[in-house]
Amino acid sequence: GESVGLHLPTLSVQEGDNSIINCAYSNSASDYFIWYKQESGKGPQFIIDIRSNMDKRQGQRVTVLLNKTVKHLSLQIAATQPGDSAVYFCAENNGPNNAGNMLTFGGGTRLMVKP
């Protein structure tokens, strides 16, 4: 079936470096994607989203890139900080009428920031 997956289960970076977390999706009909951050013992926290009519979207220290040709999504975190340590999930919308209310999540990438 359709799924969202991640290339790297664990990513370790030095504080201050940039981080890149990757995600592959298989449902070419998906038109909305979200990145979530989940810290231990907490629910997923919305980071940034992107619709399929865009290829790049920037937030505060984060950038999401979407390559529809190869069905690839990435999250870039600039100047990674210890507080960025968490598990990151990408999710795609597969709800009716592109409502964005039913999400399929990938398995997650753990980001570890070394001081």
Instruction: Give the residue with the Cβ less far from another protein, 9 or 82.
Output: 9
Sequence-distant (≥ 6) Cβ neighbours of residue 23 within 8 angstroms: 4, 5, 6, 7, 72, 73, 74, 75, 90, 106
What's the CA gap between 1 and 99, in Å, rounded? Answer: 20
Residue carrying structure tokens 């937030």: 59
Q: To the nearest whole angstrom, how small is the minimum distance from the Cβ of residue 17 to another protein?
A: 25
Binders of another protein in range 64-103 (CB under 8 A): 89, 91, 93, 95-96, 99-103
Instruction: Give the residue with the Cβ less far from another protein, 23 or 113.
Output: 23
Q: To the nearest whole angstrom, how small is the minimum distance from the Cβ of residue 84 to another protein?
A: 18
Can you read off the two tokens belonging to residue 109? 């990438």
CA 74 to each of CA 37, 71, 89, 115: distance values in angstroms, whole numbers, following the listed order? 14, 10, 11, 24
Q: To the nearest whole angstrom, how small is the minimum distance from the Cβ of residue 76 to another protein?
A: 20
Interface map 11-40 toward another protein (x if CB under 8 A): ---------------------x-x-x----
List residues binding another protein (CB under 8 A): 32, 34, 36, 41-46, 49, 89, 91, 93, 95-96, 99-108
